Amino acid sequence: MPKTRFDKTARDPLKELVLGRKSILQLSEVNLAAKMGISTGRLRTMFSGPSDAWKIREVKMLSRALDVPIAEMRELIAR
């Protein structure tokens, strides 16, 4: 009988894009939060959970702050 891995977490492509772009631009959480106009604590709370819990407004602010085309974000949300 094959083994099943229940401890494996599902991929989160939107979160992967945002965190990857953040690291490429070498932005700290403080700088990214300032560019978005939110507190650092709120940004940490967002990143601690899945991107399914993010609000549309927050996704738009991330898109603007990280210079990611909104079409690319929409494509990842649709997955």
**Cα 73 to Cα 58: distance, rounded to the nearest angstrom:** 12
**Cα 7 to Cα 15: distance, rounded to the nearest angstrom:** 19
Per residue in 13-28, pLDDT tens?
999 999 999 999 999 9
Q: What pLDDT does residue 77 have?
A: 82
Q: HEC string of 33-74?
A: HHHHCCCHHHHHHHHHCCHHHCCHHHHHHHHHHHCCCHHHHH
Q: Which two tokens stand for residue 70?
A: 């909104």
Q: What pLDDT does residue 73 have?
A: 87
Q: Which two tokens stand for residue 29?
A: 């959480």
Per residue in 33-73, pLDDT tens?
999 999 999 999 999 999 989 999 999 999 999 999 989 98
Residue 79: which pLDDT band, with cuts at 50, 70 and 90? low
